[in-house]
Each structure stands twice: as structure tokens, then as C-alpha cells.
Structure 1
């Protein structure tokens, strides 16, 4: 399906489908987009879609600061300079200074040239307004409910308008979940809490960042929960013997039949695994210590899991 073809859900709410879904809300003076996609190429398709319905861009509301969700900002803002950009705290800093993404993925060091690609390093964008991580906000005379959905990113939010929940990357569509095997996240514990929050909600419809729109999300949310819990169990088993993060990553990838062949994939999988470590650590299922100049992780002593 062409990404510039707008799919309407209600009279005023819809989305541009694609590898990254981009939300659309009809504001008082123009279109409000929820995220902007990966790059200029995507943004040009979105502009074509907005031009087709004679709608200027009023605002872009960011759910989180990964390059595939704000990479279209720069082009769209060059076309509509008066459009306003909203983003959650901390996420907004990365949107304004996108080099921070390959920096944190590269353990804080100067990023390798190989990490300076459009998937990790988007073009910088201004952010005009801090979005609350919870509560209600009015944008172009349209009321949004903001719900915290951390885990995939630190201050990721979902946005609800007309009882349609734009749920960002809090869960992945079934096909995307199968493809990635080790989903990217920064905190598996928070990810699971966000999934339970969505499972207990009762909105009219749900649109993830990657996957199809649905009015019945229970099955896909449950699949995501089972995926994370299954990975928890695998990681605990691997850590029955103390290992470094890198040693554990090699074994996890072997189990999942993942072949890492470039720096981009490596830093994404390494960060994801650390996010699972953080979740297991919060739940007191693993521990760490330092020995022989190594940071060793192991299954928590005395826990019958």
C-alpha cells in the first residue's frame, strides 16, 4: 500500500500506512501528524498525501526519539515552517541533537562512521513544545490524551484522540515481532508494564508504529508479552553460568539464529539485550559483579525460577 495514501479510521483520525505508520489527526487549521517516518523520501510521500487532501501541516507530535520516527521532520518543516513540533522530555533532546542516538548506542564514545546512517542518525529538528508524559494536551484546538508507554524508549508516549490509540513502539505487529526476534528496548520491565496497561485499556482502536491497525489488540499484545517472557527465560538460562554482556549476546543470537554482520545491528542487539538485563535485574532475577576486570552477569542466587 502506498505510504502517501491516507487511511481514515474516523471522520478526523487516520494514518499513512507504511513500514512506520504515521498518524493523522485533523486539527482546526491543518493536519497534525503523529511521528514523521524515517527520512526525506518518506516525508515527500506524506507531503504528497497532504497536498492531495489540501491540508497544510499544523503540527508534528513525536511519540519517541528514534530516527525512523522523526527523520521526516526536517523536510516537512521546510515545507511548512509554521508547523509546531511536540515531543516528550528527554526524547526532545535527541530530536534536537540526533547525534546522541549513535552516541548512546556506541557506549558514549565518538560514533563510528558506520553508525552515522539514516537508521541511527536522523537530520536534526527543532522542538517547540515539551509534551507531558501523561495527561491531556490541546494541539490546534484538538484534545489529545497522552499515556506513558516507556520501555522501548525512555519517555515514549502513546497518544489517544477520538478513542483511537496511537501506541508507538510499545508493541510490534505479529510479522514485525517474528522478524526481529530480539526486539529493541531499553527496559524490558517497563515494556511489560506498558503492554499490560494497553491490555487493560478499552479504546476504539489501536495503531502501533510497526504493524496493522486493529480494534482487537488482545492477541497481538499477548504475543508480545509472551515473546518478552520467553526471552527472559532464555537469558536466565544462559546466565546460569556467569558471562559478560558480549558473551551472553553471542549465545542469545546463536539460540535465536541471528547473524550479526555490521556495527549497526550489533549495537542495536547489544542495547536490547542490556534492556532485558535491566528488566531482570529490577525483578531480582539476575545479579552482577566484577571479577578479573570483567563485568559479569549471572542468575540470581537462591531464586527458584
Structure 2
């Protein structure tokens, strides 16, 4: 436990724990039934029934344990952000959007991309205060990694979801998953300006200050921006550019799941660059071609192009 009421179950995905008036409130539920069984064992050990699950966002590794846990405690209430809620109720939407809207093949229907369906009983507010099981929470809007990802704050401890990755995890990912790099960096800057007593990321250790880790995340995203701009000095299709970026970052894609995740992330960076007019595109001979916008002026103070 971090304090008398707030703690977390560490793991590949950290699961937050808050002790409420009528039992335990979990923040996310991990990847699968195996993880959920460990959570149940942990709750049984502290004699706390599950009374609520707060979902930060709708990726399979964050709500895959819901089905088992709700089977054990059917009275528990589930809270999730709008839009994320739809995917939690209809998990097939995750492999569908990763497959660009087409029917996902079997290789995209694994537990990392397709969790069991879960009901959602309540929508979280976009931002602001909410009371759950007698406990006050503050909801932070932290989009970018997912469309309406929420950070959850209780007793001045911030559960930051996947808005940032712990430093060791960040080094392994090389090209972090996101849907909008512009929003990702904005969410990181919001966290950088915050001063909570503690931070628990979805992946990585608890810290009393997230500034170093958050700054490293921002630096990596900006580095990837620069790498993409550099390789797009030569006009390319999205997949040609992705292949060249993976070569630069020493990434080897060996399966369909990795490919669709990296492709979505790469498109998320392109969207961010496009919003800043740092890249442009056109259509030639039925090909969607992207290139760096050479007409922008370099800002010498920050090294960013406007």
C-alpha cells in the first residue's frame, strides 16, 4: 500500500487499489483470467470484496480481467470513459480498428488485442470530481495513447494509465503505441506541470515524482517526430515510411499483431505532425504519399518546426 487507503498490485500492467466504504475499488483489471485470479487472491487476503472497477482506457491488457472478477463479484460496478466504454462492451472493435476497419483475421484475435466482453455501468466524466463507493476521485483527461484515456487521482496519488511509460519499459518499446502523438505530448505536459504526492503508470514503478520519466517520454516522442520528418524528405507511402523507421529504430516486425500496432502508432505520429503542418500528403497513381513540409521555418529556441 502507498498509504492507508491507496495502493496497487504491481505487474506487467499495474492495477490500482483503493479501499472504499464497502470494499475494494480496482483501477483496471489486467490482461486476463490468470491475472484476475491473482487479484482475487490479493483481495481475499485483505478481506476486501470488490465493489468497483474504474477503467482508464479500453486496451485488452487493462480490462481483460473484468469478466472473471465480475463473475466472482457480480454486484461490482464498472466505470469507464465514453468511447472507451463502447470497446469494453464490444471488444472486437479493437482488432477491427487496428485492421483499418476490415474483418480481423485470426492472428488479430489473441488475448493481447481481444479481451472478453465486460459490461460498463457508469460513464466517467471527461474531467473533474466523482465519488465512487464513498471515495472521492478526480478524473484527468489524458488522451493520446487512447482516444479518451483517463487518469485517476485519489488521496493525491495519480494513476496515470499509459500516458507515460516507466523508463525501462520506454527503452524497450522504441515506437510506443498511441493514436495521436500531438495529444500524447499535451497529456504528458499536463502531468509534467502536476505536483501529486505519487504517480503509478500503467507500466512501470511507483514514483513520488514523475518529472524525470515524463520528460524522457516527451523527449522520445519528439525524437521520433524528427526521425519521421527526416525520412520523409523522400516522399513515401505510409507502409514504406514505417519500414524505414523500423530499420532506424532497430525494430523487427515478425507477426500481424506487431505490424498493426506499429502501423497505428506510426499513423498517430503522422497525425500529430500533420496537425502542426510539419508533414503534407498527396495522391499519385492511386498511392497516398507523405513528405516533410519543407516550407516551415525552424524555431531555433526549441528546435521544433512551426
Deviations along 1:29-82, one digit per CA (max 9) or x if unpaired, are 000000000000000000000000010000000000000000000000000000
> Which residue of 2 is the match for residue 192 of structure 1?
185
> Which residue of 1 is the match for residue 270 of structure 2?
277
Question: SS at the partner of 1:270?
Answer: helix
* TM-score normalized with structure 2 length: 0.97
Structure 1 stretches lacking a partner, 5+ long: 1-7
Distance, in Å, in 1 between the alignment partners of 2:210 and 2:171 is 17
> Which residue of 2 is the match for residue 89 of structure 1?
82
* Correspondence for 2:297 among 297, 301, 304: 304
> Which residue of 2 is the match for residue 47 of structure 1?
40
Shift of 1:304: 3.4
Distance, in Å, in 2 between the alignment partners of 1:260 and 1:207 is 30
Structure 2 stretches lacking a partner, 5+ long: 299-306
> Which residue of 2 is the match for residue 30 of structure 1?
23
Aligned CA RMSD, in angstroms, stands at 0.6
Distance, in Å, in 2 between the alignment partners of 1:75 and 1:119 is 16
Show structure 1 runs of 4+ deviating over 3 A.
Answer: none
> Which residue of 2 is the match for residue 5 of structure 1?
none
* Correspondence for 2:103 among 87, 90, 110: 110
* TM-score normalized with structure 1 length: 0.97
Deviations along 1:188-220, one digit per CA (max 9) or x if unpaired, are 000000000000001000000000000021111
Distance, in Å, in 2 between the alignment partners of 1:210 and 1:266 is 21
Question: SS at the partner of 2:96?
Answer: helix
> Which residue of 1 is the match for residue 71 of structure 2?
78
* Correspondence for 1:169 among 162, 166, 173: 162
* Correspondence for 2:253 among 260, 282, 286: 260
> Which residue of 1 is the match for residue 174 of structure 2?
181
Shift of 1:301: 3.4
* Correspondence for 1:57 among 41, 50, 67: 50
Shift of 1:241: 1.2
Distance, in Å, in 2 between the alignment partners of 1:283 and 1:58 is 44
Shift of 1:300: 1.1
Distance, in Å, in 1 between the alignment partners of 2:294 and 2:250 is 29
In the alignment, structure 1 residue 146 sits paired with structure 2 residue 149: no
Distance, in Å, in 2 between the alignment partners of 1:176 and 1:288 is 33
Question: SS at the partner of 1:65?
Answer: coil
Distance, in Å, in 2 between the alignment partners of 1:143 and 1:153 is 24
Distance, in Å, in 1 between the alignment partners of 2:285 and 2:171 is 38
Distance, in Å, in 2 between the alignment partners of 1:57 and 1:216 is 29
Deviations along 1:152-198, one digit per CA (max 9) or x if unpaired, are 00000100000000000000000110001000000000000000000
In the alignment, structure 1 residue 221 sits paired with structure 2 residue 208: no
Equivalenced residue count is 298
